[in-house]
Amino acid sequence: MIILKGVTKQYGGLAAVQDVSLMIPNESIYGIVGRRRAGKSTLLSIMSLLESPDAGEVYYGINGDERVDILCGERLRMKRRKTGMIFQKGNLFESRNASGNISYPLEVAGMTKKQIARRVDELLEIVHLQDKRTARLRELSDGQKQRVAIARALAGSPEILFCDETASALDPQTAESILELIRDIHDRFRLTVVLVAHQIGLIQSICDDIMVFDEGRIVEVGTVQQLFAPPKTSKERVYA
């Protein structure tokens, strides 16, 4: 479970995230949808413990009772290892081939060469890239690069997977195959998945709950069915 209580993050005079409280159930697929600059990536970086909020609290754990935003040093590093992140900007190393990218977090974690080789084989199988083990990044399609990013995010066997616009820049068919892969991984490893997208249409088929986010605030939260029901107010929907 992930719980945010009153989380706020400012950049200079700009409040990128303003007093956000939410609860993400264990093993669910939770969508965060909003237009450009809504603050989605900032929110994700706070949830994933890459950034600290200026105010508010973040909790993990089966019962959501483990406060994690105040951790530091080795305890923070250990907690971060339970999370995997697929960054919006890719963040893959051009200088490394597919398996070199996937092995990076395992090298940082100090695993032996033999352990790393075995784990990279497993990860390549999970993302269906067994035949691309030694491929340079420039030889891979955008969808294949996202598969490498997914494999790298899974390297440390995380309990939570954060995906920032992982399928957004892909053609519809490739986007669908990436989302299918994320759903399969969720089902197989019983992960909690948080998916960020700027269009609800892209991710609605795989999300249990969706939160609509705009100008750093939650606009609406619900199941896909609830969000597509006739609006209770005359407020214009920002994600249609």
Interaction partner, residue 36 (ligand ATP, Mg ion, none; CB < 5-8 Å by kind): ligand ATP
State the binding string over 172-211 for Mg ion (x if CB under 5 A, else -): ----------------------------------------
Using CB under 6 A, list all residues that contact ligand ATP. 11, 14, 16, 34, 36-42, 88, 198
Joined tokens for residue 72: 């530091």
Which CA distances in Å does 117 have to 35, 107, 128? 40, 11, 16
Taking the least distance from each CB to ligand ATP, the nearer of 168 and 177 is 168
Q: Report how far residue 125's alpha carbon sits from residue 122's, in angstroms, rounded to the nearest whole number.
A: 5
Does 41 sit near Mg ion (CB under 5 A)?
yes
Using CB under 5 A as the binding rule, the residues of this chain from 63 to 92 that contact Mg ion are 88
Q: Report how far residue 214's alpha carbon sits from residue 218's, in angstroms, rounded to the nearest whole number.
A: 7
Q: Report how far residue 217's alpha carbon sits from residue 43's, in angstroms, rounded to the nearest whole number.
A: 10
Interaction partner, residue 97 (ligand ATP, Mg ion, none; CB < 5-8 Å by kind): none
**8 Å CB contact between 150 and 142:** no
Does 42 sit near Mg ion (CB under 5 A)?
no
Q: Report how far residue 237's alpha carbon sits from residue 49's, in angstroms, rounded to the nearest whole number.
A: 30
Interaction partner, residue 152 (Mg ion, ligand ATP, none; CB < 5-8 Å by kind): none
Interaction partner, residue 42 (ligand ATP, Mg ion, none; CB < 5-8 Å by kind): ligand ATP
Interaction partner, residue 108 (Mg ion, ligand ATP, none; CB < 5-8 Å by kind): none
The CA R_g of the chain, rounded to the nearest whole Å, is: 18
In eight-state DSSP terms, residue 169 is T
Q: Report how far residue 155's alpha carbon sits from residue 186's, in angstroms, rounded to the nearest whole number.
A: 14
The residues binding Mg ion (CB under 5 A) are 40-41, 88
